[in-house]
Structure 1
Amino acid sequence: MSTRQLRVVVIGGGIGGLCLAQGLNAAGIDVAVYERDAAPDARTQGYRLNIEPVGSRALHDCLPAHLWNVLVATAGDPGPGMGVFTEELRLLMREDAPPAGLDPSEQAHAVSRITLRRLLLAGLDDIVHFGTEITGYRQNTDGTVTALFADGTSATGDVLVGADGANSRVRRQLLPHARRTPAPGVGIGGKLPLGDGSAWLPEELISTKNMFLPKRDFLFTAVFRRRETERTATEHITDRIRAAGLDPDLLVQDAKDDDYVMWAYVAHRRALPADLPDPSASGPGQRLRELVTSRLLNWHPDLRKLIAQTPADTIERFDFAAAERMKPWPTTNVTVLGDAAHSMPPVGGLGGNAALYDANVLRRALIAVDRGEAELIPALAAYERAMLKNGFAAVRAATMYLRLATLPSSVVRTVARTFFRLCGAVPPLRRAVFSD
């Protein structure tokens, strides 16, 4: 076994790449992250993120304890299991609530993407390099690998990890045969702030995640309400954060943001007008809101009101694509994680959790190599097998939900609603199908 310290180069500063960097840095491994964005706040962070228990375990394992505690203190409770409803708000099934008294690392959390990004960047000032866009890599005769950047610079390490998203340039060179397939669905999403004017919202919409399965189309909602106010969260964490040399006010400043109900409406592309605003267009919210409300005419009035009262500037359109299943490839010292390997439609919040799972499994593999407990290539091969198995299971689940949302068949909808109703009535069946 080699005793030379491992050097890891990570391409991409999203949640998967940064989670891996935090875990490797905490273990004393030489790691550097290269991100093409010019600065940490170069792009907006969009909706909040549901971290499921698999993602919570990864963040708990990879983050220093003081940052994990901040995450929990500034997060919200996503509610006691997802509910499945008809468009008339009739309950078909609700997933079982998690057992009481679970450690936060085994719970789900609704987190602000902005706060999560700040936490994942905390303490990595000398590790994360912004404004560096990869153009390709070169594998060297001495067993190292060199990342090549658009500005003419480069970075060399023992391992190169492509965490650079669905359009990964690392994957393009490593796996030129890998493909992503556009999906027929179109999504439209928005955020309704929770405040004095939202008292009319039914309890189902402000307490948990929900899936609505009407005779056509599909709606998903999730509430994002923090467990603690900015003041109480800051009181709990200030001393620990300052002791780590960090600014607690900066880390939790977006706790001032309004809590909200997020909704995502999904329909088949053919069912919607051909001249929908492009996802990159600015200011299409009012037109998109009118389109969604026009298709909800026979839905429960509270669901129609949810859409109608959502501020237009929070409403946007998004398209879907999914990675095609890949078989294991000959392992080298270049690998990929997250969307760079197994991108999926953002249905069910599975993609971010899959990336965090990858980061944690790869962290453990690289720590074993660095300690001389494993050889590099076999360790990376084991990681890739686990990553592909878990990642493409998530792709299948997200694609199944999207297919259910977009199939025009009334027979399929009737069967699906009957299945969820049966799961709601038979607890052993429900647990067998929906247990983590």
Structure 2
Amino acid sequence: MTSTTQPRILIIGGGIGGLCLAQGLRRAGVPVTVHERTRARTDWLQGYRIHINPRGSRALRDCLDPANWQTFVDTVSTVGGGFAFVTEHLRTLVELDEELVNKGSTDPADRHHGVSRITLREVLLNGMSDVVRFGSTFQRYETTPDGRVTAYFEDGTSDTADLLVGADGANSRVRGQLLPHAHRVDTGVLAVAGKYRLTDASRRELPAELTTRANNVLPLGPGSLFTAVWSGDRRTAAVPTTADSGLLYDPTADYAFWGYADEATRFPDSGRLDGYTGERLRQVVLDRIRRWSPDLRRLVAGSDPDTVNVVRIRSASPVDPWPTGPVTLLGDAIHNMTPMAGIGANTALRDADLLRRQLIAVRDGGRALAPAVAEYERQMLDYGFAAVRLSLRNARQAGSANPVARAAFRGLLRTAGAVPALKRRMFADIGN
């Protein structure tokens, strides 16, 4: 690895983390190129919204130029309504209002936000036409005798830089070459999720608890259900849509989201549901929650079947530090985690901001490239795999069928709901 004070950076993958890093480096004047395998910005459409917590918001603010940051603020919708743990009969165990969740802050960088993945990626692509190379599929890399790295692509082209950043997702080819021993494990948990469109009429079909806040439903028996409310982006960022995009890919629609999780073996066909239609998946969940609150059943039954899908929950195995070189990793490419903590995207944004700051220090002559990347990797592995452990713990709890443990946890939450000081202590770090 060279010690140049003006390093050139290659980023493999144009997802949220890779583009956030590219935005920050471009703004700082550090030469950067993103190689993205999709052929157009409209090829990458992911229909579910994501939660951006204050740490993710601050990373975006610090990486984006002021105009792009304002576009983000203008487009997102606030989650609103707070969060609650409830029983399967929709009885509240403990509720965290919006004031507690956002700690009273009015600064957008210190608040929680909801945003469609489509809109966020459009924000991150703004002003990047000279940086992002679409249709560039990474194949492999080689280190050069002078300590640099050359990336080779399937179209026969190559690109050389001082640092290659693998931001190419959970099935990362960069990770496969750099850390062939690193892999993801099947947690044994399966999740089925869907969307319920919220209109004036459909809102009246559900209680306020399901249309104004997020809920974690904790039954005494097996399985669990998460619900959240997303209002459409207040303004889109030239988001690509098509006439048949439907609710799944409509970033302007209001909807209630739900996700049911349990051990795969407790689903029909031992969890081999990949061939099931949306209607059949919806019925599977209705069968699982047939003794739950009629309002929860109404939420699932009223969902658009085109939005219902199944996900097998996987998680990255722990990775020991590796010798620092001209190749590193970011986001899901290294610490892919379950969605059960809602922090995967935020952890990738944190990676992007941390690596950006380290590389700016190199540009400014404050440190050499190798120590800067080593410091990034040290911190990233620490907090990244702490997030993996938290999300994995939550996934295993979602699939737990231990009624004693469930009852004890519900009792603790009820106590916290009745004792404000305990509630504040228990949830002091929410979203950070």
TM-score by length of 1: 0.91
Indicate if the aligned counterparts of 1:225 and 1:259 stay in contact, CA closer than 8 A: yes
Distance 2:264 2:380 in 1: 31
Distance 1:178 1:249, change over 3 A: closer
Q: CA deviation at 1:325?
A: 1.2
Q: Is 1:421 matched with 2:421? A: no
1:261 to 237, 256, 265: 256
Say which SS state the counterpart of residue 372 (structure 1) adopts: coil
Q: CA deviation at 1:422?
A: 2.6
Aligned 1:35-434 pairs, distance under 5 A: 35-95=36-96, 96-198=100-202, 199-215=204-220, 216-226=222-232, 228=234, 230=235, 249=238, 257-274=252-269, 278-279=273-274, 281=275, 284-434=277-427
Unpaired stretches in structure 1, ≥5 consecutive residues = 234-247
Indicate if the aligned counterparts of 1:80 and 1:98 stay in contact, CA closer than 8 A: no
Distance 1:433 1:256, change over 3 A: closer
Say which SS state the counterpart of residue 274 (structure 1) adopts: helix
Q: Deviations over 1:176-229 (max 9, x none)?
A: 22121111111100011110331222222222221100122110111111474x
Say which SS state the counterpart of residue 175 (structure 2) adopts: helix
Indicate if the aligned counterparts of 1:74 and 1:255 stay in contact, CA closer than 8 A: no
Say which SS state the counterpart of residue 46 (structure 2) adopts: coil
In structure 2, the partner of 1:239 is none
Indicate if the aligned counterparts of 1:219 and 1:266 stay in contact, CA closer than 8 A: yes
Distance 2:75 2:389 in 1: 32
Say which SS state the counterpart of residue 168 (structure 2) adopts: coil
Distance 1:152 1:35 in 2: 15
Indicate if the aligned counterparts of 2:90 and 2:293 stay in contact, CA closer than 8 A: yes
Distance 1:19 1:139 in 2: 25
Distance 2:93 2:118 in 1: 34
Say which SS state the counterpart of residue 340 (structure 2) adopts: coil
Q: CA deviation at 1:148?
A: 1.2
Distance 1:2 1:378 in 2: 9
Distance 2:206 2:75 in 1: 24
Q: CA deviation at 1:100?
A: 2.9
Say which SS state the counterpart of residue 405 (structure 2) adopts: helix
Distance 1:319 1:252, change over 3 A: closer
Indicate if the aligned counterparts of 1:77 and 1:226 stay in contact, CA closer than 8 A: no
Distance 1:82 1:179, change over 3 A: same
In structure 1, the partner of 2:245 is none
Distance 1:3 1:295, change over 3 A: closer
Backbone CA RMSD of aligned residues: 2.0
Bigger CA drift: 313-322 or 100-109?
100-109
Q: Structure 1: which 4+ aligned runs deviate by more than 4 Å?
A: 1-4, 248-256, 275-278
Indicate if the aligned counterparts of 1:23 and 1:61 stay in contact, CA closer than 8 A: yes
Distance 1:413 1:166 in 2: 31
In structure 2, the partner of 1:241 is none
AA partner of residue 220 (structure 1): F
Q: CA deviation at 1:275?
A: 6.6
Indicate if the aligned counterparts of 2:331 and 2:351 stay in contact, CA closer than 8 A: yes
AA partner of residue 179 (structure 2): L
Q: CA deviation at 1:6?
A: 1.3
Q: CA deviation at 1:250?
A: 5.1
Indicate if the aligned counterparts of 1:77 and 1:227 stay in contact, CA closer than 8 A: no
Indicate if the aligned counterparts of 2:232 and 2:252 stay in contact, CA closer than 8 A: no
Bigger CA drift: 320-329 or 285-294?
320-329
AA partner of residue 344 (structure 2): G
Indicate if the aligned counterparts of 1:74 and 1:252 stay in contact, CA closer than 8 A: no
Q: CA deviation at 1:426?
A: 3.2
Q: CA deviation at 1:54?
A: 0.8
Distance 2:251 2:402 in 1: 44
- Over the matched positions of the two proteins, sequence identity in percent amounts to 46
Distance 2:183 2:3 in 1: 36
Distance 1:21 1:204 in 2: 40
Indicate if the aligned counterparts of 1:192 and 1:306 stay in contact, CA closer than 8 A: yes
Distance 2:67 2:250 in 1: 18
Indicate if the aligned counterparts of 1:49 and 1:111 stay in contact, CA closer than 8 A: yes
How many corresponding residue pairs?
A: 417
Bigger CA drift: 86-95 or 255-264?
255-264
Distance 1:19 1:249, change over 3 A: closer
Q: Deviations over 1:105-162 (max 9, x none)?
A: 1111100111111111111111111111111111111121111111211111011100
Q: Deviations over 1:38-81 (max 9, x none)?
A: 22222421201110111101111111111111111111111254
Indicate if the aligned counterparts of 2:4 and 2:369 stay in contact, CA closer than 8 A: no
Say which SS state the counterpart of residue 93 (structure 2) adopts: strand
Indicate if the aligned counterparts of 2:336 and 2:388 stay in contact, CA closer than 8 A: yes
Q: CA deviation at 1:251?
A: 8.2
Q: CA deviation at 1:416?
A: 1.9
Q: CA deviation at 1:2?
A: 5.4
AA partner of residue 372 (structure 1): G
Say which SS state the counterpart of residue 339 (structure 2) adopts: coil
